């Protein structure tokens, strides 16, 4: 396993259980990432049905926080009612056996995906909205998935504003979209695709947005940065994304590390 990681970095979006299913020893990858200096990581859910397995896999790490949520594809095999009910149980720590009450620190990833057109647009919008309502009920930030759905994502966010804010994950839209997302009080997270050669436009967005609204993520096991493309991604690759973002912002990597740490603390402990 190769590492590009500096002390204090934070991976705001990875999928431990999916890494494991893809043949990566997730526990080992995470342990090594912390040994190489990783400060904090967010294990993001894609369906509430696997919450027990996710918590069992990585809950022994103090510096991993978990989100719970249903990805848009979940509308294909479940009713909205079952999905939101299962999410509420997850938030309350009712559907897993380990002593994990209060383990859920955010709702996600939730959102809209017009690329794959799961279910119907109407169902996806309904699922997205009901999950924001739950996030608001339990004072949790949200982690948003947006694929080719800028217009409707904004419509939902304006109609049902996420009160504790959140992160637009793997941002891949243009600056006009970024500006509107920021206006709604949300932050923007860039994944490994910001390092891809052809993505000048995305780097331009990263150079324009305020430093305090910026997060970085690996989205492991997906989206390996350019330098390790073709390999399975793991949180230890987060350094490539930090380097590119720091270049865009014209600051040093250590400066960016400090800025992200502050924003991260503010998002999850707003009282600090």
Binding site for Zn ion (CB under 5 A): 219
Q: How far is the CB of 169 from Zn ion (least distance, A)?
A: 6
CB of 170 or CB of 245, closer to Zn ion = 170
116 or 262: CB nearest Zn ion: 116
Q: How far is the CB of 109 from Zn ion (least distance, A)?
A: 5
Evaluate whether 118 touches 127 at the Cβ level (below 8 Å): no
Which tokens go with 271?
């009282």
Pair type for strands 214-216 and 64-68: unpaired
Closer Cβ to Zn ion, 74 or 249, answer by number: 74
If we measure between CA atoms, which residue out of 156, 141, 144 comes closest to residue 217? 144
Q: How far is the CB of 182 from Zn ion (least distance, A)?
A: 21
Q: Compare residues 169 and 249 and give the one whose CB is closer to Zn ion.
A: 169
CB of 15 to Zn ion, least distance (A): 6
- In the complex with Zn ion, the residue whose CB is nearer, 234 or 249, is 234
CB atoms within 10 A of CB 268: 16
Please state the closest distance from residue 72 (CB atom) to Zn ion, in A.
Answer: 12
Of all residues in this chain, which one has the CB nearest to Zn ion in the complex?
A: 219
């Amino acid at each position: 396993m190769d590492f590009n990681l500096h002390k204090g970095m934070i991976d705001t979006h990875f999928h431990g259980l999916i890494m494991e299913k893809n043949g990566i020893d997730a526990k080992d990858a995470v342990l090594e990432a912390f040994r190489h200096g990783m400060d904090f990581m967010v294990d993001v859910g894609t369906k509430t049905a696997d919450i027990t397995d996710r918590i069992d896999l990585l809950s022994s790490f103090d510096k991993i926080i978990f989100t719970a949520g249903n990805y848009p594809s979940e509308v294909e095999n479940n009713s909205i009612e079952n999905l939101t009910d299962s999410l509420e149980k997850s938030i309350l720590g009712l559907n897993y056996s380990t002593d994990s009450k209060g383990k859920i620190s955010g709702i996600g990833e939730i959102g809209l995906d017009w690329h794959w057109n799961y279910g119907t647009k109407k169902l996806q919008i309904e699922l997205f909205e009901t999950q924001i309502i739950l996030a608001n009920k339990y004072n949790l930030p949200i982690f948003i998935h947006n694929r080719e759905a800028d217009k409707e994502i904004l419509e939902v966010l304006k109609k049902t504003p996420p009160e504790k804010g959140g992160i637009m994950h793997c941002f891949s839209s243009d600056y006009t979209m970024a500006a509107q997302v920021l206006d709604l009080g949300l932050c923007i997270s860039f994944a490994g695709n910001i390092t891809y050669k052809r993505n000048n436009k995305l780097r331009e967005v990263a150079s324009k947005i305020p430093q305090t609204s910026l997060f970085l993520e690996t989205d492991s096991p997906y989206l390996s940065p350019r330098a390790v493309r073709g390999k399975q991604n793991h949180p230890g690759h987060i350094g490539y994304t930090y380097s590119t973002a720091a270049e865009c912002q014209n600051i040093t990597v250590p400066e960016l590390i400090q800025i992200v740490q502050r924003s991260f603390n503010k998002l999850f402990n707003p009282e600090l």
